[in-house]
Amino acid sequence: MTATQAVPVGAVPAPRRGRTSGSRWRALLESRWRDRLAELTDLSVAYHDATAPAPGTGAHESQRLLSRQAVVARYALAETDKALHRLATGEFGRCEDCAADIPQARLLVEPEARYCERCA
Ligand SMILES: [Zn+2]
């Protein structure tokens, strides 16, 4: 019997450093990722439901709208995915253009931000 798990599962240690805390951003991004995936799933279900009515009942229009929304949702999900990747590679919070730190206030509003305010 070995005590390999000093920290119980689910216990998130409080961030000690003042700078970008990886675990806090990860939790935030993963939560957003789940939300965006759920939104995309809902849109897919709605899209398929919209195919059910008989032709000529306006289904095409709602399908077009849902399809457009799904494209936006898929893009948003991909952006969150990329932010999680940057977190894993240590690039998170750094402007992709000038390599400056992206202000935390900006990241809190949009953790997927890839550019600082100057380069955005
Ligand atoms: Zn920049």
Distance of CA 101 from the midpoint of ligand 1 (Å): 8
Share of the chain above pLDDT 70, in %: 77
Which structure tokens are listed for 26?
A: 């990860």
Quick one: pLDDT at residue 7?
47
Rg (the chain; Cα; Å)? 20
Q: What is the pLDDT of residues 8-18, one digit of tens each?
A: 544 444 444 44
Residue 75 has pLDDT above 80, yes or no: yes
Q: Which of 19-23, 38-42, 65-69 has the lowest mean pLDDT?
A: 19-23
Q: What are the two backbone dihedrals, phi and then psi, of residue 101, each rounded to the nearest 5 degrees? A: -70, 135
Per-domain residue ranges for the chain?
22-91
Q: How far is CA 110 from the centre of its chain?
A: 9
Work out the pLDDT band at 42, boundaries 50, 70, 90: very high
> Taking a C-beta distance cutoff of 8 angstroms, is the pair 84, 34 a contact?
no
pLDDT of residue 11: 46
Give me ligand 1 centre to Cα 103, in Å. Answer: 11
